[in-house]
Each structure stands twice: as C-alpha cells, then as structure tokens.
C-alpha cells in the first residue's frame, strides 16, 4: 500500500485555483470565503451521511478535532479505505485544505511533533508524561498523539477505535506487561485532553491572524548528512493566496552548484509543503514559517527515500545584520581556507580573533566569501566572529587535533529492500571534537562538525559474527551511507534466513600514527510495507 499523500498534500501537480477574495467573518484570516465554502460543500456531500451536521458547519466527530494536514490525510484515507468514502483528487485537495485551515494547529502546537512530519530518521522517542510512551509509543511515534487536539470524549473514542480495528492490540507490541485497555479507557482520555485540548488560547489567536506573505528573496543554509553544508538564496513568488513557487540557487561548501525549484502549498498560514527538485533529484519539503513570516525552517527529503535529506533554514535578506552560519564550522591550525559567512547586512571588516587573518574575496547576497589563514599557534576553541559591529559566538571553532569522534546517529535502523520496495538506507556522519582547557582548568569538548573518515562495519556481537551479518546485510559506502541488501529468504544463509543484521558502524580517522575511532549500532531489519504520513 503506497500512500498518495504527497501528490495530495504538496503543491506538485495541482492546477492553481485562484481564490483570492475578501476576508469573510466565518473563517476570518485563515482562508478566503470561497475556499471555505468549497471545503464545507465537500464535507456536507461526502461526510455528513455518517457524521451528522448537528449545527450549521458543525459535524459530529469531524468538528471536534484539530490536527496537521498529514493527520487529516491519514483520517480521510481511512474513511476511503475502511468506510467506503469516494473522493476525486480535486475534492481531496479541497477538503484537506479546508480541514487543515479551519481545524488545524497553531505553530506552538506543532513543535513537539515536527520531527515526524519532517520524517527525520532515527529520531528519539518523544518525552511525554504519565505512561504515554509505553501506552501509545510502541506501535507508532508519539507525534501522532502530540499532533492531535480533541476533548476527552474524542480521545476515548480514538482508544475504542484502536481496539475495534486491532482487537489483538493488547497481545502484541509488548502490551502484555501492562493492563493496556484498563489504563487507556479509564485514565488516559482526561489526561490526554488536558495535554492536548481541542480549545486553546494559541489556536484562538492564531486562527484570526492574517497570513504572512512569504514572497521575497531569502538567504538559505542547511546541512545534508553525508554531503555536508550548503548555502545560497531562494526566490519565492506568490501564485495565489496559499501557493508559492520557489527557485533555489545554492552551493555546496566547495562551491559546486546545488540548484532547484519547488511548488508549495501553505497550510494553516505557516506550514509549507512543497514538491520540486534539488540538485537534479525529486524532493519534498516540510517547512514551517515563523509567525511574522521572517524565517522558514524544516527539512527536505528525497521522494521515495525520506531518510535522505537535509535541514533547511531560510531568513529574509532584510532585517537586522546577522551571521546565520559559518561554512565550514571548524578550521585546523596551520591552514589557509575558503570560509563562507552566511548572513545579511555584513558590512565592515572581518575579525576571527588572534592567530587568524581573514580577507574578503567577494560579497554575495547570502553573505561573504573569505580567504582565511590560521597560523600554527592559534589557540583552539570557539571563536567570536566579528563583522563590522556584528558579533556571533559558537559558529566557528579552531582546532589543532581531533581528540574524539562521535558517530551520529548513535543508533539507527535500516530496512531491506527488494521487488518494488526501495530499501530504507541509514546515513551516518562522524562528528569531530577537540578538547579545550577552560578558565578553571576544566576541559570541555568543542564540536567541530562532520569529519572525513574511513567507514567499516563489524558484527555487533558473537551471534551476528556467527550468522555472517556483515556479509549479508548490505554495504556501507565511504560517504557513511549504509545501503541494505535485498530481502530474503536467502538460500546462502543458515535456514535460508532473511538478510537482516546486527552491526557496528565504525568510523576511523587516522593522522600519522594515531587513530581516533567511534562506533554506532545499526540494526538492519525487514521491510516496512505501510508508509503513513506520520510514522
Ligand atoms: C460510511 C460512513 C462514514 C463516512 C461517509 C465518513 N466517515 Fe468518518 N468515520 C466513520 C466511522 C465508522 C468512524 C469511527 C471509526 C474510525 O475512526 O475509523 C469515523 C471516524 C472519523 C473521525 C474520527 C477519528 C479520527 O481518526 O480522527 C473523523 C475525524 C472522520 N471520521 C472524518 C471523516 C471525514 C472528513 C469524512 C468525509 C470525507 C468522513 N469521515 C466520512 C464513518 C464514516
Ligand atoms: C497496537 C499498536 C498501537 C498502539 C498501542 C497505539 N496505536 Fe495509535 N494507531 C495505531 C495504528 C495502526 C494507527 C493507524 C490507523 C489507521 O489509520 O488505519 C493508529 C493511529 C493513531 C492516530 C491517528 C488517527 C487517525 O485518524 O489516523 C492517533 C492520534 C493515535 N493512533 C493515538 C494513539 C494513542 C493516544 C495511543 C495510546 C492510548 C495509541 N495510539 C496506541 C496503532 C497503535
């Protein structure tokens, strides 16, 4: 089952509906009245047979819930799949647009669950109170919970639905160690309603706020694990009240081009969902604009390989002078290097502290390109970057030695591919640290950023060694990308087992005779056939 969700949610293939109109009373600033009327009409025609319209515009269950566009897409998908609802692609877009705007989430209400919408791989489990991690975090991420707002009565029905749809729930996913149904049906609804209520001040304020216009020129920087930092500019044009088109002129740290473009829909006034290309590859974008429209942040990822992607941070070219990023973020003593200060309003001379000499090579709309010399005796540690009157700390470090490495992520899951299903890769990077002696004799580790290393795999334990997991589970490329093997059964393995594996991923950095080594744990497991919008 492959979810049609991306063609549905993001701007890619859609025809542009021009729905600019005056702001009506009913849905205030969030959407023009014509779009609201079109959405309401779809709900009335396709949902109200089962979800009664109890008051004008108020539908049983539907109107008692707020969530993300992805959350609405999941529910509507189930209404189609399980309850026989039939919608055209256009009706789907209209209702998704409508429900996400009229019953969406305020920016602060999305914060905890953004990682899941951005599809960040190997994200640690969300810290939620009570026993929610055990009760609700074993089958899916807690982002599904944290991105839903409803009263206790609806939380209770959701729990009933779980047991109705999955009667075996209490016997699977390790639920046998707890009295799942008893706790879920008695204690949790009220607790969940308190944590994630239908009515909130944040939403009351947000729904009446006019949408910020995101058109303009933006300075962009980000990091793509495995490939490194990138920077440049984005030109965003407005196509209609909720649609934008963007062109990206970006560069990798070495200056190579990393251009692209995208079409995006803005949901709930701040949630950017785009489809386009970056560096010639098809990508999706899940970004969030700041309330005042001054910043856009999030993550993009490859279509069909959401585990591969990068962070995205964009700020307008206008505003108070500031350095947003320094690329690369660390300089070795005794070297001369190209350094990019990504930022705006950077006028005046550049000073990176004692033992360094910086020369401005060229000024660009996204910042400055410098040539920097760090002499052999420059003191290691964080440097304050001074440009004219602007000072920034913690963006640049100087180092003599890489004292230790850490592999990120420290624990990862990859999944076998095969047939029509692409494998789920795992991207690792080796982060370098240097030890710096502080004021009171305390040693602190200064993070230097991703380092080039030699990558290898090793069995995680004796069992893995015996099974030969290293040979069967896949290959680790020298850019830190683990590409899993095809799914089994594999007649070359004992009992024709699948090509799963339990491995160490090892990063080694050699300088002269010394080597610094770090490890991460990688589990290569079976395919995941269902890829819901919120994992
Ligand atoms: C044929 C009857 C039927 C139709 C038509 C129908 N639903 Fe449902 N809906 C159900 C049933 C049954 C449940 C409870 C079981 C469940 O959640 O799957 C439900 C539950 C829900 C819920 C609450 C649970 C959740 O996951 O949020 C929402 C919201 C919802 N439906 C939205 C819609 C929307 C929007 C439409 C129209 C596009 C729609 N439904 C059309 C039968 C229907
Ligand atoms: C046994 C595994 C399991 C457990 C435990 C579990 N869930 Fe789910 N949950 C699911 C599955 C599967 C779905 C997807 C249902 C669908 O859309 O077909 C789901 C969907 C959801 C959704 C989205 C509903 C929608 O409209 O698509 C929410 C919210 C949710 N769960 C909350 C919870 C909460 C709260 C708990 C703890 C009380 C919980 N879950 C525990 C399996 C589980």
Quick one: CA dihedral 290, 295, 297, 302, positive or negative? positive
Ligand 1 in reach of 41 Cβ (< 6 A): no
pTM: 0.93
Helix/strand/coil percent split, the chain, to 5: 25, 40, 35
- Of 164, 147, 144, 168, the residue nearest 156 (C-alpha): 164
Q: Please give the Cα distance from 157 to 528 (Å, whole number).
A: 28
- Helix (H), strand (E) counts: the chain: 14, 30
pLDDT tens, residue order, the chain (535 aa): 344 555 567 765 433 333 333 333 344 468 999 999 999 999 999 999 999 999 999 999 999 999 999 999 999 999 999 999 999 999 999 999 999 999 999 999 999 999 999 999 999 989 999 999 999 998 899 999 999 999 999 999 999 999 998 888 777 766 678 889 999 999 999 999 999 999 999 999 999 888 999 999 999 999 999 999 999 999 999 999 999 999 999 999 999 999 999 999 999 999 999 999 999 999 999 999 999 999 999 999 999 999 999 999 999 999 999 999 999 999 999 999 999 999 999 999 999 999 999 999 999 999 999 999 999 999 999 999 999 999 999 999 999 999 999 999 999 999 999 888 899 999 999 999 999 998 888 999 999 999 999 999 999 999 999 999 999 999 999 999 999 999 989 999 999 999 999 999 999 999 889 999 999 999 999 998 888 999 9
Among the atoms of ligand 1, which is closest to the Cα of residue 87? Answer: 38
Q: Please give the Cα distance from 451 to 391 (Å, whole number).
A: 26
Ligand 2 in reach of 157 Cβ (< 6 A): no
- Residue with the smallest CA separation from ligand 2 atom 3 is 139
**Quick one: tokens of 396?**
């640049």
- Of 124, 39, 144, the residue nearest 87 (C-alpha): 39
Which string of DSSP letters, residue by residue, matches 62-119? Answer: GGG-EE-HHHHHHHHHHHHHTT-----HHHHHHHHHHHHHHT---HHHHGGGHHHHTT
Q: Please give the Cα distance from 504 to 484 (Å, whole number).
A: 14
In terms of phi and psi (left: phi > 0; alpha: psi -120 to 50; beta: otherwise), the region of 269 is: left
Ligand 2 in reach of 178 Cβ (< 6 A): no
Helix (H, G, I), strand (E, B) or coil at 518: strand
Please name the helix (run of DSSP H) or strand (run of DSSP E) that holds residue 342, with its range, or none.
Answer: strand 335-344
- Distance (Å) from CA 149 to ligand 2 centroid: 14
Among the atoms of ligand 2, which is closest to the Cα of residue 188? Answer: 38
Of 42, 51, 162, which is best to mutate to test ligand 1, by the most ligand atoms within 8 angstroms of its C-beta? 51
Of 50, 94, 101, which is best to mutate to test ligand 1, by the most ligand atoms within 8 angstroms of its C-beta? 50
Ligand 1 in reach of 154 Cβ (< 6 A): no
**In order of start, what are the domains of the chain with their CATH numbers?**
24-206 (no CATH), 216-316 (2.40.128.120), 332-399 (2.60.40.10), 404-525 (2.60.40.10)
Strands 390-399 and 330-332 come out as parallel
For residue 103, give the ligand nearest its CA: 1
Ligand 1 in reach of 84 Cβ (< 6 A): yes
| Three-state DSSP string of 188-238 | HHHHHHHHCCCCCHHHHHHHCCCCCCCCEEEEEEEEECCCEEEEEEEEEEE
- Residue with the smallest CA separation from ligand 2 atom 6 is 136
Among the atoms of ligand 2, which is closest to the Cα of residue 136? Answer: 37
């Amino acid at each position: 089952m492959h979810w049609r969700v991306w063609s549905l949610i993001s701007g890619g293939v859609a025809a542009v509906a021009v729905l600019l109109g005056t702001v009506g009373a009913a849905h205030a600033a969030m959407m023009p009245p014509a779009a609201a009327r079109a959405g309401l009409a779809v709900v009335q025609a396709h949902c109200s047979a089962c979800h009664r319209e109890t008051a004008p515009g108020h539908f049983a269950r539907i109107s008692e819930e707020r969530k993300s566009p992805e959350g609405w897409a999941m529910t509507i998908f189930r209404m189609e799949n399980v309850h026989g609802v039939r919608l055209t692609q256009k009706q789907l877009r209209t209702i998704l647009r409508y429900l996400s705007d009229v019953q969406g989430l305020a920016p602060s209400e999305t914060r905890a669950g953004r990682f899941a919408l951005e599809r960040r791989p190997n994200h640690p489990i969300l810290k939620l109170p009570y026993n929610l991690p055990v009760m609700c975090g074993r089958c899916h991420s807690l982002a599904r919970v944290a991105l839903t707002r409803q009263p206790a009565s609806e939380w209770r029905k959701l729990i009933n639905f779980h047991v109705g749809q999955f009667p075996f729930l209490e016997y699977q996913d390790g639920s046998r160690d707890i009295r799942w149904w008893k706790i879920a049906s008695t204690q949790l609804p009220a607790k969940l309603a308190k944590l994630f209520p239908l009515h909130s001040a944040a939403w009351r304020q947000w729904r009446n706020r006019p949408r910020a216009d995101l058109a303009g020129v933006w300075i962009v920087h980000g990091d793509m694990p495995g490939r490194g930092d990138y920077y440049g500019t984005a030109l965003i044009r407005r196509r209609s009240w909720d649609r934008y088109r963007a062109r990206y002129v970006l560069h990798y740290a070495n200056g190579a081009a990393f251009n692209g473009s995208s079409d995006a829909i803005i949901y709930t006034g701040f949630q950017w969902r785009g489809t386009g290309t970056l560096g010639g590859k098809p990508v999706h974008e899940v970004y969030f604009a700041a309330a005042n429209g001054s910043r856009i942040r999030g993550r993009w990822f490859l279509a069909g390989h959401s585990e591969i992607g990068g962070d995205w941070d964009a700020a307008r070219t206008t505003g108070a002078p500031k350095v947003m990023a320094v690329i690369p973020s660390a300089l070795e003593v005794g070297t001369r290097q190209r350094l990019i200060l990504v930022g705006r309003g950077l006028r005046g001379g550049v000073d990176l502290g004692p033992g360094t000499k910086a020369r401005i090579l060229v000024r660009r709309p996204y910042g400055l390109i410098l040539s920097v010399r760090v002499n052999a005796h420059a003191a290691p540690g964080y440097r304050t970057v001074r440009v004219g009157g602007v000072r920034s700390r913690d963006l640049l470090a100087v180092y003599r030695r890489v004292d230790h490495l850490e592999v990120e992520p420290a624990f990862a899951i990859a999944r076998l591919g095969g047939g029509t299903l692409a494998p789920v890769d795992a991207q690792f990077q080796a982060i370098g640290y240097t030890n710096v002696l502080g004021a009171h004799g305390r040693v602190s580790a200064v993070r230097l950023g991703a380092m080039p290393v030699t990558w290898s795999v090793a069995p995680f334990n004796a069992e893995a060694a015996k099974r030969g997991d290293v040979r069967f589970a896949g290959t680790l490329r020298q850019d830190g990308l683990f590409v899993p093997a095809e799914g089994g059964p594999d007649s070359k393995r004992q009992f024709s087992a699948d090509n799963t594996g339990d491995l160490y991923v090892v990063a080694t950095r050699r300088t002269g005779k010394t080597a610094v080594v770090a490890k991460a744990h990688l589990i290569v497991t079976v395919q995941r056939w269902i890829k819901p919008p919120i994992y």
